[in-house]
Amino acid sequence: MRFLRRSLVGLFLIAVTVGILAYAGNTIYSSVQARLSQEPMQRPPRERIFAVNVLSYQPGQVTPVMTAFGEVRARRTLELRAQSGGEVIELHPDFEEGGIVRKGELVLRVDPADAQSALQVARTDLAEAQADLRDAERTLELAREELEATREQARLRERALARQQNLRDRGVGTDSAVEEAELVVASANQAVVSRRQSVAQAEAALETTRTGLERARINLAEAERDLADTELYAPLSGQFSDVSLTEGGLVSSNERVADLIDASALEVSFRLSTVQYSRLLDEAGKLRPAPVTVVLDVFGADLEATGTITRESAAVGEGQVGRVLYARLDGAAGFRPGDFVTVRIEEPPLDGVARLPASAINAAGELLVLGQDDRLEAVAVTLLRRQDDDVIVRGADLAGREVVAERSPLLGAGIKVRPIRPGADAGGGQPPDLVELSPERRAALIAFIDGNPMMPDAAKARVKAQLEQDRVPARMVERIESRMGG
446 domain-assigned: yes
How many angstroms separate the Cα of 229 from the Cα of each of 36, 76, 118, 146, 259?
A: 116, 23, 13, 51, 18
Its pTM stands at: 0.59
User: Of the residues 292, 315, 346, which one is the last residue of a structural domain?
Assistant: 346
222 domain-assigned: yes
DSSP 286-305: PBP--EEEEEE-STTS-EEE
What's residue 429's pLDDT? 39
Based on the fold, state whether residues 118 and 208 are members of the same structural domain.
Answer: yes
> How many CA atoms are closer than 13 Å to the CA of 434, on its beta-carbon side?
10
Q: Which amino acid belongs to residue 463? A: V
Based on the fold, state whether residues 306 and 372 are members of the same structural domain.
Answer: no
User: Of the residues 322, 346, 370, which one is the last residue of a structural domain?
Assistant: 346
Q: What integer is the mean pLDDT of 248-274?
A: 86
How many angstroms separate the Cα of 321 from the Cα of each of 120, 324, 326, 347?
A: 61, 9, 16, 21
**For residue 98, is pLDDT > 50?**
yes
What's residue 45's pLDDT? 66
Per the DSSP assignment, residues forming a β-bridge with 382 are 394
What CATH number does residue 403 fall under? 2.40.420
Based on the fold, state whether residues 189 and 172 are members of the same structural domain.
Answer: yes
pLDDT-derived band of residue 427, with 50, 70 and 90 as boundaries? very low
**Positive/negative CA dihedral, 355, 360, 366, 371:** negative
Residue 69 burial by CB count (10 A; 0-12/13-18/19+): exposed, middle or buried?
exposed
**For residue 40, is pLDDT > 70?**
no
Contact present, 109 and 95 (Cβ < 8 Å): no
Based on the fold, state whether residues 270 and 334 are members of the same structural domain.
Answer: yes
DSSP 32-96: HHHHHHSPPP-PPPPPP-EEEEEEE---EEE--EEEEEEEEEES-EEEEEESS-EEEEEE-TT-S
- Tell me which of 285 and 302 has the higher pLDDT: 285
Expressed in angstroms, the distance from the first to the final Cα of the chain is: 103
What's residue 1's pLDDT? 63
59 domain-assigned: no
63 domain-assigned: no
How many angstroms separate the Cα of 50 from the Cα of each of 86, 228, 236?
A: 86, 86, 69
What's residue 294's pLDDT? 92
| Alpha-carbon gap, residue 104 to 89, rounded angstroms | 19
What is the CA 435 to chain-centroid distance, rounded? 37
Q: Report pLDDT digits (tens) over 353-391.
A: 999 998 889 888 889 898 888 888 888 898 888 888 889
Contact present, 176 and 228 (Cβ < 8 Å): no
DSSP 399-459: TT-EEESS--TT--TT-BEEEE-TTTT------TTEEE--HHHHHHHHHHHHT-TTS-HHH
Q: Which of 441, 432, 433 is nearest to 467 (CA)?
A: 441
Q: Report pLDDT digits (tens) over 437-447.
A: 888 888 888 88
| Alpha-carbon gap, residue 35 to 27, rounded angstroms | 12
Q: What is the DSSP letter of 319?
A: T
188 domain-assigned: yes
Structural domain of 480: 434-485
Q: What integer is the mean pLDDT of 79-96?
A: 85
Based on the fold, state whether residues 226 and 119 are members of the same structural domain.
Answer: yes
What's residue 428's pLDDT? 39
Contact present, 255 and 82 (Cβ < 8 Å): yes
Based on the fold, state whether residues 128 and 221 are members of the same structural domain.
Answer: yes
pLDDT-derived band of residue 269, with 50, 70 and 90 as boundaries? very high
What's residue 21's pLDDT? 84
What CATH number does residue 196 fall under? 1.10.287
Kindly state the percentage of the chain with pLDDT values over 70.
93
User: Of the residues 182, 208, 230, which one is the last residue of a structural domain?
Assistant: 230
149 domain-assigned: yes
Name the domain count of the chain: 5
Per the DSSP assignment, residues forming a β-bridge with 375 are 416
Based on the fold, state whether residues 201 and 148 are members of the same structural domain.
Answer: yes
DSSP 95-107: -STT-EE-TT-EE
Contact present, 250 and 88 (Cβ < 8 Å): yes
Contact present, 71 and 341 (Cβ < 8 Å): yes
Q: Which of 281, 251, 335 is nearest to 71 (CA)?
A: 335
| Alpha-carbon gap, residue 420 to 424, rounded angstroms | 7
**For residue 430, is pLDDT > 60?**
no
Q: What integer is the mean pLDDT of 317-323?
A: 82
Q: What integer is the mean pLDDT of 74-92?
A: 85
- Please give the angle made by the CA atoms of 166, 172 and 176, to the nearest 5 degrees: 80
286 domain-assigned: yes
Based on the fold, state whether residues 175 and 187 are members of the same structural domain.
Answer: yes
Based on the fold, state whether residues 281 and 205 are members of the same structural domain.
Answer: no
What's residue 41's pLDDT? 55
What's residue 423's pLDDT? 61
Q: What integer is the mean pLDDT of 36-52?
A: 69
**For residue 289, is pLDDT > 50?**
yes
- Tell me which of 406 and 248 has the higher pLDDT: 406
What's residue 477's pLDDT? 81
What's residue 292's pLDDT? 92
Q: Mean pLDDT across the chain, nearest whole number?
A: 83
- Tell me which of 1 and 396 has the higher pLDDT: 396
Q: Which range (24-33, 42-51, 200-209) has the least confidence? A: 42-51
56 domain-assigned: no
Quote the strand ranges of 83-182, DSSP E. Answer: 86-91, 100-101, 106-110
Q: What integer is the mean pLDDT of 348-353?
A: 89
Based on the fold, state whether residues 196 and 140 are members of the same structural domain.
Answer: yes
| Alpha-carbon gap, residue 70 to 332, rounded angstroms | 15
Based on the fold, state whether residues 246 and 210 are members of the same structural domain.
Answer: no
Based on the fold, state whether residues 237 and 96 are members of the same structural domain.
Answer: yes
What CATH number does residue 271 fall under? 2.40.30
**For residue 432, is pLDDT > 50?**
no
Report strand pairing: 323-330 vs 266-272. antiparallel
- Tell me which of 272 and 476 has the higher pLDDT: 272
